Amino acid sequence: MDILYKSTRGNEKRLTASQAIIQGLSEDGGLFVPESVPSLDIDFDKLAQMSYQECAFFVMKKFFTDFTDEELKNCIDRAYDSKFDTKEIAPVVKTGDCYYLELFHGATIAFKDMALSILPHLLTTAMAKNNLDKKVVILTATSGDTGKAALAGFADVPGTNIIVFYPKGGVSRIQELQMVTQKGDNTKVVGVRGNFDDCQSNVKNIFNNADIKEMLGKRGYCFSSANSINIGRLIPQVAYYVYAYAKLMKDYGLCAGKKVNFVVPTGNFGNILACYIAKQMGLPVDKMICASNDNKVLFDFFKTGVYDRRREFILTSSPSMDILISSNLERLIYFISGENAEVTAQRMKDLSEKGVYEITDSEKAKLSDFVPAYASEADVKDTISKVFSKDHYVIDPHTAVAAFGAMQFMKDSTNPVVVVSTASPYKFTPAVMNAIDGKRDEEDVFALIHRLSNLSGVSIPNAVREIENADILHDCVADIADMESVVCDYLK
């Protein structure tokens, strides 16, 4: 059966998967959702034997029905290859009383690699399928992590260029080094004399500038974004939940059909939404624990049914979850409203105009599979320290937010609990060392990294090793006002 995609804010148009991937966001501002969620429909013993690539193919084939088997396999083979430092791609590790699903073995040692390593291939395949022969230009503003993951994904992918703007002086030393040492003939990294908001609003302006669009169109280019709301990022994330279940069966003796809980450190709500979709497909998932840091908008939402972003933005040790507007939640709102586009559009309007909306009691009742949790900065530090001293396992602050939630939750559950581990501790070494070895803020970050390796016995990932001595390949620094001309000059 063909699966078509529709918008969460309008009922008319239907797109194929490849069209939805190219377009990213619907014209009415809504997000694309599949008209129906396909069922898993598989023999569990067969599932248990699948490799990551086979699992990804199995899941993606059900959603991206206008792609041929060969096209999908091609995308998967190019994405989940030796860029990952383990053949398993997403290993499941048992430590103490929980399981950890490690999603940080890709090029940038964090979970966004899981989707951003395949999106470029899905996008270029989709362009070819729809007879669009333009070169895709990805424009991204980054506060640190997404930019690098997008660069790594798009580097040297034929038919694409990627330009990343970051606030000069506004990202960590490791983050900046990761970006400015990026290889690939089609990559451009620009430090902007301004803050992240300046970068982001100018990227939006360039996107929406009709003159630039026309001029670049004549030169054979079109713009796209690698945004986390693209179904080309969301659906590949469903695969690792199915794979985790397969691993639990194969390696840890889980009985077919037994339910499993997942604890997900959440920001934009993309990762946990993929878990929800896996459950809709029929994967035996019990509870989905939505773990927030101090920016606990989602925790309050699941408790009260009120989404209220009118609050102070707090900088935490888990920066990738410092978010007050979780874009992907719109899809869940749409599903629980009975797929009511009008109601969804109104709520999103309220959110942007008033900063708040409320769902009904009957909708709230449909959220009973979600369990909210949150961890303060003290809880995070304490959890990193406890897991290390008790189990000799090192986790990063994002994962610690989830691990803390798991410890609270486990008291009342008999089913296995899987903590979704979203970043390597080597990506956030100062915070990790602070927790397990006392205050180390002053020390050079590479010195800390080596100490962490000595303490933990975990070898330093290649992604970190490489940048310590890599050549700086990008030294472009621009004023805010010059961002536009940087783009036009680069795309000569």
Q: Among 120, 167, 265, 430, which residue interacts with ligand PLP (rule: CB under 6 A)?
A: 265
Instruction: Write down the least CB distance from residue 268 to ligand PLP, Å.
Output: 3
Q: Among 321, 400, 418, 432, which residue interacts with ligand PLP (rule: CB under 6 A)?
A: 321
Question: What is the rounded CA–CA span in Å between residue 84 and residue 417?
Answer: 25
Residue with tokens 């430090």: 191
Q: Among 268, 295, 344, 424, which residue interacts with ligand PLP (rule: CB under 6 A)?
A: 268
Dihedral-angle region of residue 144 (phi above 0 means left; psi in -120 to 50 means alpha; beta otherwise)? left
Interface residues for ligand PLP in 369-428 (CB under 6 A)?
398, 422-423
Cα atoms found within 13 Å of the Cα of residue 311, Cβ hemisphere only:
16
Question: What is the rounded CA–CA span in Å between residue 330 and residue 332?
Answer: 5
Site string for ligand PLP, 102-141 (x = CB under 6 A): --------xxx-----------------------------
Instruction: Write down the least CB distance from residue 12 to ligand PLP, Å.
Output: 29
Question: What is the rounded CA–CA span in Å between residue 333 and residue 240?
Answer: 23
Beta strands in 143-185 (DSSP E): 160-167
Binding span for ligand PLP by CB under 6 A among 249-257, 269-277, 278-286, 438-446: 269-277
Cα dihedral 274→275→280→285 (10° resolution) = 170
Query: Which helix (H) or strand (E) element contains residue 236?
Result: helix 231-252
Binding span for ligand PLP by CB under 6 A among 81-89, 263-271, 346-354, 411-419: 263-271
CA 221 to mean position of chain CA atoms: 26
Interface residues for ligand PLP in 30-69 (CB under 6 A)?
none
Residue with tokens 């790594």: 152
Q: Is 317 an interacting residue with respect to ligand PLP (CB under 6 A)?
A: no
* Active site (catalytic) residues: 112
Q: What is the CA radius of gyration of the chain?
A: 22
Q: Is 271 an interacting residue with respect to ligand PLP (CB under 6 A)?
A: yes
Q: Is 145 an interacting residue with respect to ligand PLP (CB under 6 A)?
A: yes
| Residue closer to ligand PLP, measured from CB, 125 or 424 | 424
Q: Is 269 an interacting residue with respect to ligand PLP (CB under 6 A)?
A: yes
Interface residues for ligand PLP in 418-437 (CB under 6 A)?
422-423
Q: Is 153 an interacting residue with respect to ligand PLP (CB under 6 A)?
A: no
| Residue closer to ligand PLP, measured from CB, 178 or 320 | 320
Question: What is the rounded CA–CA span in Å between residue 443 and residue 441?
Answer: 6
Q: Is 147 an interacting residue with respect to ligand PLP (CB under 6 A)?
A: no
Q: Among 266, 292, 293, 344, which residue interacts with ligand PLP (rule: CB under 6 A)?
A: 266
Structure tokens at 121: 């291939």
Number of other residues whose CB lies within 10 A of the CB of residue 400:
32
| Residue closer to ligand PLP, measured from CB, 188 or 398 | 398
| Residue closer to ligand PLP, measured from CB, 157 or 423 | 423
Amino acid at residue number 281: M
Question: What is the rounded CA–CA span in Å between residue 102 and residue 221?
Answer: 37
| Residue closer to ligand PLP, measured from CB, 173 or 219 | 173
Q: Is 320 an interacting residue with respect to ligand PLP (CB under 6 A)?
A: yes
Is residue 73 a contact partner of residue 81, using CB atoms and an 8 Å limit?
A: no
Number of other residues whose CB lies within 10 A of the CB of residue 131:
6
| Residue closer to ligand PLP, measured from CB, 91 or 267 | 267
Question: What is the rounded CA–CA span in Å between residue 393 and residue 224?
Answer: 40
| Residue closer to ligand PLP, measured from CB, 145 or 198 | 145
Residues that bind ligand PLP (CB under 6 A): 110-112, 145, 265-271, 320-321, 398, 422-423
